[in-house]
Amino acid sequence: MRRIDAIAITIGVFIAGGAPYFLLKGAGIDSLSAGIWSQLLLVGGLLGWLASYLFRVVSKDMTYNQQLKDYEDAVLQKRLEELTPEELEKLQAEIEQEKKGKPGS
């Protein structure tokens, strides 16, 4: 993330916290109640974002995890392509032997 992106996000959160206050105050709600409700909305939004982030972390649905999986798949595919036909046949025979040797397969 670039520095300008971090600054823009900070300004966006600041505006997102202040806009409801002025909207509620403009709607005729007193300053104290408008402040409480605007803080409640801001904290609720923050907790919602945090919950979605934690869900993505736990379910491993993050950009890093996807990039790592794609890299591992590409490396395995490249190694598979580099095998000679004899090595490929030997590998397939070993896989078949392991499948037959496992109980419940």
Alpha-carbon distances of 46 from 7, 43, 52, 63, 88, rounded to whole Å: 17, 5, 10, 21, 53
pTM more than 0.85 = no
Q: Residue 74 is which amino acid?
A: A
Question: What is the domain partition of the chain in residue ranges?
Answer: 3-59, 65-101
Burial 43-75 (b: 16+ CB within 10 A, else e): eeeeeeeeeeeeeeeeeeeeeeeeeeeeeeeee
Q: How confident is the model at residue 103 (pLDDT cuts 50, 70, 90)?
A: low
Helix, strand counts (H, E) of the chain = 4, 0
Per-residue pLDDT tens over the stretch 28-62: 999 999 999 999 998 999 899 999 999 988 888 88
